Amino acid sequence: MARLKKWCEDINASQKKARFDYVFVDEEDFKKYKPDSFSSLINNFRKYKGDKAG
């Protein structure tokens, strides 16, 4: 996860055309919560980012 976070930071620092970020969805939680949209994935699968929201 640290390398993925660093890649996003690096690419965002080197260009401004698009903003990159990441979300990691583990299979166990995917099956448990059954998200119904991409937005739901982004908002609810944040535990690997260290956010308190997930």
Q: What is the rounded (10 degree) CA torsion for 33, 34, 39, 45?
A: 40
Q: Which domain holds residue 40?
A: 2-49
How confident is the model at residue 54, as a pLDDT?
45
The string of pLDDT tens digits covering residues 4-47 is 999 999 999 999 999 999 988 999 999 998 999 999 988 888 88
How confident is the model at residue 47, as a pLDDT?
82
In a domain, 14, yes or no: yes
pLDDT at 51 over 60: no
In a domain, 40, yes or no: yes
pLDDT at 53 over 50: no
In a domain, 29, yes or no: yes
How confident is the model at residue 43, as a pLDDT?
86
In a domain, 17, yes or no: yes
